[in-house]
Amino acid sequence: MISLMAVPQTRSMGLPLINLLRLKGAPILQQLHLEERLLRTSYDNWCIINDGTTKPTVVMGVSGKAEELLEIDSVLRDEIPVIRRFTGGGTVIVDQGTIFVTFICNKDAFPDLQSYPQPIMSWSSLLYKKVFQGIGDFSLRENDYVLGDRKFGGNAQSITKNRWVHHTSFLWEYEVSNMGYLKLPKRAPNYRQGVVADGICEAA
Give a yes or no: residue 22 inside a domain.
Answer: yes
User: Do residues 174 and 200 lie in contact, with contact meaning Cβ atoms separated by under 8 Å?
Assistant: yes
How much of the chain is helix, strand and coil, in % rounded to 5?
25, 35, 40
Examine residue 151 and state whether it is found in any structural domain, yes or no. yes
CATH of the domain at 109: 3.30.930.10
For residues 73 and 181, the answer to whether their CB atoms sit within 8 Å is no
Tally the C-alpha atoms within 13 A of residue 175's C-alpha that lie toward its C-beta. 12
Torsion of CA 183, 118, 99, 134, to 10 degrees: 110
d(CA 147, CA 47): 23
Q: Residue 118: how many CB atoms within 10 A of its CB?
A: 11
Q: Does 204 fall in a domain?
A: no
Predicted pLDDT of residue 3: 46
Burial-class residue 76 by CB neighbours within 10 Å (0-12, 13-18, 19+): exposed
Asked if residue 201 is part of any domain, the answer here is no
Residue 176, Cβ neighbours under 10 Å: how many?
7
Boundaries of domain holding 152? 2-192
Asked if residue 182 lies in contact with residue 70, where contact means CB atoms within 8 angstroms, the answer is: yes
57-60 and 82-84 strand pairing: parallel
Q: Over the chain (204 residues), what is each successive 10-residue block's mean pLDDT?
A: 45 74 96 97 96 95 93 97 94 95 96 93 94 89 89 94 96 87 77 50 44
Residue 118 lies in a domain: yes
Q: Report yes or no on 79 lying in a domain.
A: yes
Q: Which of 159, 161, 46, 168 is nearest to 99 (CA)?
A: 168
Contact 70, 84 (CB under 8 A): no
- In this predicted structure, what is the pLDDT of residue 69? 94
pLDDT for 143 equals: 86
Cα dist from 190 to 2, 179, 202, whole Å: 39, 21, 14
Total structural domains in the chain? 1
Is the residue at 203 inside a domain? Answer: no
User: What integer pLDDT is reported at residue 14 of this predicted model?
Assistant: 63
Residue 157 domain-assigned?
yes
